Amino acid sequence: MSSAEKFLEIHNVKTHFPVEKGFLFRRRLGAVKAVDGVTLTLRQGEILGLVGESGCGKSTLGRTILQLIRPTEGTVSLEGQSLTALRGASLRRARSAFQTVFQDPYASLNPRMTVFDALAEAMRAHVRVPRQELPGRIAALLQKVGLSPQAQRRYPHEFSGGQRQRIAIARALAVEPKLLVADEPVSALDVSIQAQIINLLARLCREMGLTLLFISHDLSVVKHIADRIAVMYLGRIVEIGPAADVIEKPLHPYTKALISAVPIPDPRREAKRARILLPGDPPSPLNPPGGCPFHPRCLYAIERCAQVVPVLEPFGQTERQASCIRMREINAE
């Protein structure tokens, strides 16, 4: 495989958070296994959508890739360079290659910095830019994300949510990264604004050849932007494949249920379709069930599901994978 095929490699990553009790005499009670053995490869220029419900570990995985949280086990490499091995100054230098956009544009921008200051700070953190070139570069950057160059002199509070998210995207792009991790970038926005930001991200990726990891709880949003979709449940990837395949013919029982629960904005279709109503809540990652983590809520579960931990296995000719021991049985045609 060429290096473009293995642009970002995540190998058997586990991120566990210890849970302790007591102050002076700390006792370890256990660990929240937020990410529990994820292996994933992204191609250069690809958009991968990472979906799952709250608590499934999708944000922790995103932060582990960004080295904002160090993994307990496993490696993350970008273009062959291991990020997990980097420390201090060398990690800081490497950071210009991977940037992030967070969910809440109200919290992620410093209210006391003008747009110019925020973008200039990002730019100068990694690249030596002569002072007189800054205004021109920042104006070009703002134009790229659909804001007027006059915006540089203003403060975040003068902008609406959608515009702030554009500023956050501009800041991430200021250092010309190769990889962007966007964690729920449109979840805090109204529908009419969501569409604008999704289109913007898709266009930027196309034009700049960016690789994007798009994390969201909303399957319909992800479908619109992603080339491939990975579905997470309790710290593991349970299904991965080309976006259209995963949505139209999901393999894993959890993906099936997730898709059937997404409301369709079309009353006639909505009335006709069959719903899979999952019983119960997602279990706590502090105390996950044995065997397949989904088996207590699964409609297809058999006795063996409580004993065997399933691994991702390929399905059919395409690059689809799912982790369910009954995958072939329940998807036979």
Partner 1 sequence: MPLLIVENLSTSFHTRNGVVRAVQDVSFQLERGETLGIVGESGSGKSVTCYSIMGLVPQPPGRIEGGRALFGDVDLLACSHRQLNRIRGRRISMIFQDAMTSLNPFLRIGEQLIEPLMIHENIARAAAMDRALAMLNEAGIPEAEHRLKMYPHEFSGGMRQRVMIAMALITKPDILIADEPTTALDVTVQAQILELIRKMQNELGMAVILVSHDLGVVSGFCNRVMVMYAGRVMESAQIDDLFYDTKHPYTRGLQKSIPALQMKGEELHTIPGQPPDPHRLPPGCPFAPRCGHAVEYCAKEEIRLLEVAPNHRTSCLRVQKENLPV
- Name the one range near partner 1 by CB under 8 A: 20-28, 166-174, 259-267, 288-296: 259-267
Residues counted in the chain: 333
Q: Which is nearer to partner 1, 38 or 56 (CB)?
A: 56
258 binds partner 1 (CB under 8 A): yes
Which tokens go with 236? 């593991």
Answer for which of 5, 20, 133, 270 binds partner 1 (CB under 8 A) is 270
318 binds partner 1 (CB under 8 A): no
198 binds partner 1 (CB under 8 A): yes
- Burial (CB < 10 A; 0-12, 13-18, 19+), residue 53, is middle
Contact of 104 with 204, CB cutoff 8 Å: no
State the minimum distance, in angstroms, from the CB of residue 14 to partner 1. Answer: 24
Contact of 237 with 35, CB cutoff 8 Å: no
Burial letters 273-304, b for 16+ CB under 10 A, else e: eeeeebeeebbebeebeebbbbbbbbebbeee
Q: Which is nearer to partner 1, 270 or 319 (CB)?
A: 270
Q: Report the Cα 191 to chain-centroid distance in Å.
A: 20
β-bridge mates for residue 210, sequence order: none
Q: Which is nearer to partner 1, 130 or 280 (CB)?
A: 280
137 binds partner 1 (CB under 8 A): no
- Name the one range near partner 1 by CB under 8 A: 10-18, 60-68, 78-86, 157-165: 157-165
Beta strand segments in the chain, E: 8-21, 27-42, 47-51, 73-78, 81-82, 98-101, 179-183, 211-216, 228-233, 236-242, 313-315, 320-322
Answer for which of 22, 267, 317, 333 binds partner 1 (CB under 8 A) is 267
How many chain residues touch partner 1 (CB under 8 A)?
47
Helix-helix angle 134-144:115-126, to 10 degrees = 110
224 binds partner 1 (CB under 8 A): yes
Answer for which of 60, 84, 163, 165 binds partner 1 (CB under 8 A) is 163
- Name the one range near partner 1 by CB under 8 A: 75-83, 129-137, 215-223, 310-318: 215-223
The Cα 59–Cα 102 span in angstroms is 10
State the minimum distance, in angstroms, from the CB of residue 58 to partner 1. Answer: 12
Answer for which of 1, 23, 27, 54 binds partner 1 (CB under 8 A) is 54
Binding site for partner 1 (CB under 8 A): 53-54, 160, 162-163, 190-196, 198-199, 202, 217-221, 223-226, 243-244, 247, 257-271, 275, 277-278, 281-282
